[in-house]
Amino acid sequence: MSLESEFISRIHFNDKGLVPAITQDFETKAVLMLAWMNEQAVRQTVESGFATYFSRSRNKIWVKGEESGNSQQLVSIQADCDSDTLLLLVKQQGPACHTGNVTCFFEQGIAFGNEEMESNQ
Amino acid sequence: MSLESEFISRIHFNDKGLVPAITQDFETKAVLMLAWMNEQAVRQTVESGFATYFSRSRNKIWVKGEESGNSQQLVSIQADCDSDTLLLLVKQQGPACHTGNVTCFFEQGIAFGNEEMESNQ
């Protein structure tokens, strides 16, 4: 079995045949997005070297950047300890987020005061 | 409404009442793990400042490190552009993975030859 087929055979897809994929910028280490892959998307990703996902809303395979040009060239793809999540390290062309932001995680969210707490100790 | 309640009210939980949470090491930027949270887990996380997940296999709330000591002190928590994924930046105590590895992404996976390709150009 090829390295690619062996890699794919070990992945635990969920009851909908999907696995979550975390995509991280190889250079900045920023987490760019989370998207989903079915088996075909994983296969296309490892064979093409470009991140390819499965759109749950459009119910079809989706090559990242195919329309926008904001493609993701793979540096590596790994499964986690229980093989139900993937991590992609990529070279991101342009912004990863459809909003035009570098990453899909651009909202401020909630910050905790650890830094201040530490400097006070 | 408090900042915490407003944050939680905007999250899109899936049909099982869960949202995937990516946890990243604040210092090294390593992606440590992906786990799931229900609304109560998100609330406990933002109120306690320590990552708290929902175990799908055990069907219960799970404070990371409660038994192992390998807790995750929050630096920040953010939702992504469509509010269906969370990103936690944490100060990780000890290894994040139950296998004793620093991160759950320790398998070699597949590496692509981008670096070599680039240096050859």
* pLDDT digits 0-9 by tens, B56-101: 999 999 999 999 999 999 999 999 999 999 999 999 999 999 999 9
C-alpha closest to that of B99 among A16, A1, A82: A82
Instruction: Let me know the angle formed at the C-alpha of B109 by B105 and B110, rounded to the nearest 5 degrees.
Output: 140
Say whether B75 and A20 touch across the interface (CB within 8 A).
no
Q: Which of A70, A83, A107, A118 to mutate to test the interface with B (most CBs of B within 10 A)?
A: A107
CB contact under 8 A, B108 and A78: yes
pLDDT for the residue numbered B110? 97
Q: How far is A79 from chain B (nearest CA, A)?
A: 6
Q: What is the pLDDT of residue B119?
A: 41
CA atoms within 13 A on the CB side of B39: 13
Within an 8 Å CB–CB cutoff, is residue A91 touching chain B? yes
The answer to whether residue B121 scores a pLDDT higher than 60 is: no
Q: What is the pTM of this model?
A: 0.93
- For chain B, say whether A6 makes contact (Cβ under 8 Å): no
**Residues of A with Cβ-Cβ distance to B82 under 8 angstroms:** 104
For B33-57, the DSSP string reads EEEEE-HHHHHHHHHHSB-EEEETT
